[in-house]
Amino acid sequence: MDLHDADAAAITATDPAAETGRAETDGRVVAIRGAVIDIAFSGGDLPPIDDALIVRDGDGGSVVVEVQAHRDATTVRAIAMATTTGFRRGDRVERVGGPIRVPVGDAVLGRLLDVGGRVGDGGAPLLADAPLRPIHAPPPSLSAQRGASDLFATGIKVLDLLTPLAQGGKAAMFGGAGVGKTVLVMELIHAMAESYAGLSVFAGVGERSREGHEMLLDMTNSGVLEHTVLVYGQMNEPPGARWRVPLTALTIAEYFRDEAHRDVLLLMDNVFRFVQAGAEVSGLLGRMPSRVGYQPTLASEVAALQERIASVGDASVTAIEAVYVPADDFTDPAVTTIAAHVDSMVVLSRSMAAEGMYPAVDPIASSSILLDPLVVGEEHARVAADVRRAIEHYRELQDVISLLGMEELGAEDRRIAERARRLQRFLTQPFAVTDAFTGVPGRSVSIADTIAGCRTILDGGCDDWRESSLYMVGTLEEARAKEMAARQADAAAAPATTGAKR
């Protein structure tokens, strides 16, 4: 997918008034260095920062670029949204008269688009009368926004109990490579398609081609594609395309929120690659790097994206973002900058993933501003605090347990440790998206069932159960049935064993 001839023609057609006097204000390419193009203009004012331009070569090819800097009174420096192979100095450059515009509305539902709104799923082209919106827009004013306090039930036990999500809020899944971020986001898409009446917009930032293809097939087979828009900036595309893909997806979501007054679920995988693409662009533009080599504009770029995600009037945009943590370093500037903007932080633990505790959500490091008795209720807040306290106490005892064993603990410490282990296993859950690999159907659990199950374990109602009975189940009733079946199997095997000994 790239921004070549078809996109350039579409973007040019979005502003017919720009045709007047275009010949006098056209520019010429004076230098090309990969994705960076310097363009000189002989007449008129220079195009503003973030404006789109179209570079045309002598063979009929074209590429869309975005202005990023004014070098002097007549020259701008721009970043290309596609490869610049075949372009040369002296090529003609046309003004568009505004930022890149992308198609929005019902026409894009069920389609896969690139950063410029070009169809990438091999289907029919979009209708010519589809509404268009610029990808750059100011965030809603503070007075127009409404608070996000309604719970967004996911059916995933550990999320609903310990890091409740807000409808109209922002949640981020932080984790290193291979701990299950993408699987968790995919499960949330599946869960929302089952119980959520709104629309979904998925932004694949720096995704592998295989991942995009698999997601398109999964959504087609599950029948939820007609309520979803997929926007991809793939890993093999220039940094400019990966940098602007989240803005394209957000623009589509904003249209449904503002014009159609519909709730929208915005999913982004992976926001770290958005920051990474911005760092690449910054380096190409010759800016001095900041902390750990990141771009000096890191905070403002992340804020420009995150502050547009808001609830306005009777409709909301709810964002769920996957964030890669480089080398599992949660003090990385990109991670801390993104974390400052989210309401719910879901931290994925490598050690829990190694133990097979999926989803590998760290119950201690994860947090949510909604976990307040005034929002979720007294019982929910109390159970969540008790679960955290038990697991934290168990972690404090793990060094002693690993050296001396559980038998050396005092009676109270041993009871807490055993219940904490059962809680950790009860908070695991089979996912619908992993059914094809594990053969275990996915489970969705209500918040009430999750709270009741955890309270029973905390109160000692499962002290004589096998830990395996609580692993990878939905409700506590399912675990009870699993425990009863195991006991019956043991009872049936006992006479046979006794007879064999005789």
Among 94, 207, 301, 483, the one annotated catalytic: 207
Separation between Cα atoms, residue 395 and residue 423, nearest integer Å: 13
* Lowest-confidence segment of 187-191, 325-329, 440-444 by average pLDDT: 187-191
408 is catalytic: no
Question: What's the first-to-final CA gap in the chain, in angstroms?
Answer: 74
Q: Where are the alpha helices (DSSP H) in 377-445?
A: 378-404, 411-426, 435-438
Given a cut of 80, whether residue 432 has pLDDT beyond it is yes
* Lowest-confidence segment of 125-129, 209-213, 380-384 by average pLDDT: 209-213
Given a cut of 80, whether residue 283 has pLDDT beyond it is yes
- Mention every residue, 6+ apart, whose C-beta is less than 8 A from residue 211: 182, 204
Given a cut of 70, whether residue 10 has pLDDT beyond it is no
Nearest to 47 by CA among 39, 56, 57, 36: 39
pLDDT for the residue numbered 24: 59
Separation between Cα atoms, residue 41 and residue 21, nearest integer Å: 13
Q: Token pair of 12, please?
A: 């040019």
Given a cut of 50, whether residue 20 has pLDDT beyond it is no
Among 95, 101, 111, 181, the one annotated catalytic: 181
State the pLDDT confidence band at 183, using cuts at 50, 70 and 90: confident
In eight-state DSSP terms, residue 371 is -
Given a cut of 60, whether residue 354 has pLDDT beyond it is yes
**Cβ-based neighbour number of residue 278 at 10 Å:** 23
Nearest to 131 by CA among 4, 276, 251: 251
Which residues partner with 317 through β-bridges? 264
207 is catalytic: yes
Owner of token pair 């010759």: 286
Tell me the pLDDT tens digit for each residue of 75-113. Answer: 999 999 999 999 999 999 999 999 999 999 999 999 999
The pTM is what?
Answer: 0.89
Q: What percent of the chain has pLDDT over 70?
A: 92
Among 22, 33, 208, 291, the one annotated catalytic: 208
Question: Average pLDDT for residues 58-72, to the nearest whole number?
Answer: 92
pLDDT for the residue numbered 3: 46
**Mean pLDDT rounded to a whole number for the chain:** 89
pLDDT for the residue numbered 219: 76
Tell me the pLDDT tens digit for each residue of 322-333. Answer: 999 999 999 999
- Mention every residue, 6+ apart, whose C-beta is less than 8 A from residue 364: 388, 391, 392, 395
State the pLDDT confidence band at 44, using cuts at 50, 70 and 90: confident
Sign of the torsion angle spanned by Cα atoms 363, 369, 370, 374: positive
Q: 235: number of CA atoms within 13 Å, CB side?
A: 9
Q: Is the peptide bond before 359 cis (omega within 30 degrees of 0)?
A: yes
pLDDT for the residue numbered 14: 44
Tell me the pLDDT tens digit for each residue of 226-244. Answer: 888 999 998 889 999 999 9
pLDDT for the residue numbered 22: 52
Residue 469, classed as helix, strand or coil, is helix
170 is catalytic: no
Tell me the pLDDT tens digit for each residue of 146-176. Answer: 876 788 889 999 999 999 998 888 999 999 9
